[in-house]
Structure 1
Amino acid sequence: MSKETFQKITRIIRFDDPTSRRNNCDNFDKFTPIRNLWDKWVELLPMYYNPSECVTLDEQLLGFHGRCSFRQYMPSKPERYGIKFWMLACSKSCYVWNMQPYLGKLPGNQPERNQGQRVVLDLVTGLKGHNVTIDNFFSSFELGQKLLEKNLTMVGTMRKNKRSIPAKLLECKKVPVYTSNFAFTQNTTLVSYIGRKDKCTVVQSTMHHTMSTGDPPKRLLEIIEYYNKTKGGVDTVDKMLSTYSCKRKTNRWPMAVFSNIVDISALNALIVWMSVNKDWVDSQNKGRRKIFLRELGLSLAKPYMEHRKNYTGEIPSRGSGNLVMDNADSQPSGSQPQHPEPPKTRARCHYCVSEKKHHSENKTELTCVMSKKNVCKRNHNRNICIECLDNRKNV
């Protein structure tokens, strides 16, 4: 499509009906301007891909600096300001399997309790037999037990203020570096690892049940190695989305969310394509994603390009109000074919040049319909130059 058509569509596009939004004040949802499209899209994500044995759950910050009631400030992220999403992605292929927007505090400005646990249980709906890797915002002993009831395991770091952590595991002063302390229950393993002087890292796992350690000198634990290997699924997705993105500068947050939907859909399409077409993966050594996105864009634009190529100039007829397409090529018998008007050319005003006025260097596209001469606004009145207008009055 042309640039003007694209700009017009992006300017007027909306994803809901504002009138119905005002009528439903009782069930007000901050995400209403794009909620219908979002729910349908999220519902389709799990249907086309089965993730590997491990998935990663983390937060994504979509950069946005306009007005938004649930915009977040996260200084640790590259964008810092934006809209936050909870994202569940495959740790191996980085396929985005489920997402959920963060809309701020509850009605009445009340903070949500056990938010991390609620988010994890919502996003893992439909999974079975997988391991979930999470950070210390989500991890808790109660969450591990509820995931086991769903036939899911968990590996994640723990905040040191959790009551389920024994005091012995938090003792790290005057303890030699690269030492570990374990605590076991029937189905859960807690480990405290001294990675730096006087600082420890607590990791919980319902998947590992042994005290296996790595090679010296660091003697890194199997639990921590597994966590380091699988924790970067969502971070890799953010990196890939920032490399190739269709985002444009906008002051409307629904358009920013829609751009994020398109980017994630294109990334998921690449992952599905690569998992099905192994021969194509082997034949493309470099730039696979760039080649795929180019071919994807051409395949989506090809029907529109063919429509424009075969366009015969059909226009809607006036009259009844229903759009009836008439063929412009079918001319009535005895009528003369209509030739398009020649393109307008810019030239100096005929009268200003003859009178040698100071503004004679200004060029204009206006022409007199009678004399066909270029005329500026000073010597132009209703598509007729002043001289032809005087001649008509004298007649």
Structure 2
Amino acid sequence: MNADRFDFLLRCLRFDDKTTRTERRASDKLAPFRQFWEAFISNCVKWYKPSSYITIDEQLVGFRGRCPFRMYIPNKPNKYGLKLIMMADSNTKYVCNAIPYLGKGTNPGTEPLASYLVKEITKPIHGSNRNLTMDNWFTSIPLASDMLQAPYKLTVVGTLRSNKREIPQEIKNSRARQVGTSMFCFDNEMTMVSYKPKSNKIVYLLSTTHDQPTVNDVTKKPEIIHFYNSTKGAVDTVDQMCSIMSTGRKTNRWPLCFFYDTVNISIINTYVVYVCNMIQDHKKPLKRREFALQMADELIKPWLLERYNTVTLQRDVKKSIRDILNIEVPQESCVQELHKTRKICGFCPAKKGV
């Protein structure tokens, strides 16, 4: 198709029933995209079993149009956009689950918003004894204590903000404390560490996985920090992969912006499954760009065949489809049978053949 046809189809693309949108939007801000999003996430959960280490972080999908839950995060590359709370596998970077953040439309009940989002996004892995790595926006001591109990049964490793009232005064910064020192405190299954990398900076981490005050002999950093650094970057890597090879286009409609992001995530998830299968079969996988192009060709192949069989299709379009699909057309024989007499013109009257 030409560019005008493609732009026309994008303008006509919708993801819900417009006649009932107003009623659904009164109780759900994501109503224009809710059905498509839930179907996409259910497939992400269904076709992959994550490893033991999970990362929870936020992704900001760049968008500057009108949207009731558009966010402004100054430390992100896009600054303005749609916020997603995302759960990804630390080893393979597979996106296991994601929740759009709807701003004031989110109803966390009686618990803090961060705790509510963590408990909601981890529903597919409840009771599996996996570990969650999170930053200081999500991590809190009450949440870590709750995640150890049924029905969650999950451990937590994450950074803590220095204003948490549960942090003891003894492990906070002081002038007498040397740079590079670590202080530990323990409470049943929870371990808290205070590390001083600079004279005016203290890093606090909470872990329900580690129970020993282990410090690395080379870097002099606690083992909890090394574990956190090795498992925290899954969502950031997914965000980087989406920006390097993106299907996004400029749009003023936020459902279409979400759609582009789901296509980017689906390419990453599909590639992860493909690489796992190829390694299991002891074969060399393709690069991600080559795989994405090949997958796109396979997806459009049935539609090209259906269009190719249209009788009234233009010859130049049919020739283009034939070249894409490598369809061989049998050449007609040019050998004329000499024993047959030549027929007269179809426009001439029959009496001239006498």
Note if 1:13 corresponds to 2:39: no
Q: Which amino acid aligns with 1:300?
A: L
Q: Would you say the 8 A contact 2:72–2:79 is kept in 1?
A: yes
1:74–1:81 contact (8 Å) kept in structure 2: yes
* 1:274–1:280 CA contact under 8 A, matched in 2: no
Alpha-carbon distance in structure 1 between the residues aligned to 2:280 and 2:188: 46
> 1:107 & 1:57 partners in 2: Cα distance?
18
**Aligned pairs for 1:188-267 within 5 A:** 188-216=190-218, 218-267=219-268
Q: CA deviation at 1:129?
A: 1.7
Q: Distance in 2 between matches of 1:111 and 1:179?
A: 40
Contact 2:210 2:224 in 1 (8 A): yes
Query: Which residue number in structure 1 is paired with residue 133 of structure 2?
Result: 133
Q: In the alignment, which residue of structure 2 is the partner of 1:114?
A: 112
| Displaced runs of 4 or more, over 3 A | 110-113, 279-282
**Would you say the 8 A contact 1:156–1:205 is kept in 2?**
yes
* Paired letter, 1:172: S
- Contiguous gaps of at least 5 residues in structure 1: 315-335, 337-395
- Asked whether the equivalents of residues 172 and 194 of structure 1 are also in contact (C-alpha less than 8 Å), the reply is no
Question: Is 1:302 the counterpart of 2:301 in the alignment?
Answer: yes
Helix, strand or coil at the partner of 1:32: coil
Contact 2:28/2:105 (8 A) holds in 1: no
CA distance in structure 1 between the partners assigned to 2:154 and 2:109 by the alignment: 28
**Corresponding letter in the other structure for 1:201:** V
1-structure distance, mates of 2:70, 2:110: 17
Name 1:161's counterpart in structure 2. 163
SS in 2 for 1:151: coil
Q: Which residue of 2 aligns with 1:31?
A: 30
Deviations 1:128-147 (A, max 9, x none): 12100000011111111111
Q: Distance in 2 between matches of 1:130 and 1:56?
A: 11
Paired with 1:9 and 1:295, the residues of 2 have a C-alpha distance of: 23
- Please report how far the alpha carbon of residue 126 of structure 1 lies from its aligned counterpart in structure 2 after TM superposition: 2.1
Q: Greater Rg, structure 1 or structure 2?
A: 1
User: What are the superposed Cα offsets for residues 219-242 of structure 1, whole Å, 9 maximum, x if unpaired?
Assistant: 111100000000101000001111
Taking structure 2 as the reference length, what is the TM-score of the superposition? 0.83
The offset of 1:173, in angstroms, is 2.7
Which 5+ residue runs of structure 2 have no aligned equivalent?
314-345, 347-354
Instruction: Confirm or deny that 1:152 pairs with 2:154.
Output: yes
* 1:301, distance to aligned residue in structure 2 (A): 1.2
Evaluate the alpha carbon distance shift between residue 24 and residue 93 of structure 1 in structure 2; reply closer, same or farther with a 3 A threshold.
Answer: closer
User: 1:78 maps to which residue?
Assistant: 77
**Alpha carbons of structure 1 residues 281 and 2: separation in structure 2 relative to 1, 3 Å:** farther
Aligned to 1:46: 45
CA shift digits 1:80-127 (9 cap, x unpaired): 11000100000110000000011111489x999611111111111121
- The DSSP-based 3-state class of the residue aligned with 1:33 is coil
Aligned letter for 2:242?
L
Q: CA offset at residue 212 of structure 1?
A: 1.0
- Determine the C-alpha separation between the residues in 1 that align with 2:192 and 2:163: 14
What is the percentage of aligned positions where both structures have the same residue?
38
Structure 1 distance, partners of 2:106, 2:137, is 22
> Secondary structure at 1:67's aligned position in 2?
coil
Alignment-derived partner of residue 173 in structure 1: 175
Give distance in 2, aligned partners of 1:107 and 1:190: 31
- Return the structure number with greater relative CO, CA threshold 8 A, min gap 6: 2
Q: How far apart, CA to CA, are the structure 1 residues paired with 2:293 and 2:120?
A: 35
Q: Distance in 2 between matches of 1:233 and 1:305?
A: 37
Rounded Cα–Cα distance in structure 2 between residues aligned with 1:93 and 1:211: 29
Cα distance between partner residues in 2 of 1:64 and 1:112: 31
Separation (CA, whole Å) in 1 of partners of 2:246 and 2:306: 27
Considering only aligned residues, what root-mean-square deviation do their CA atoms show, in Å? 2.1
Q: How many residues matched?
A: 310
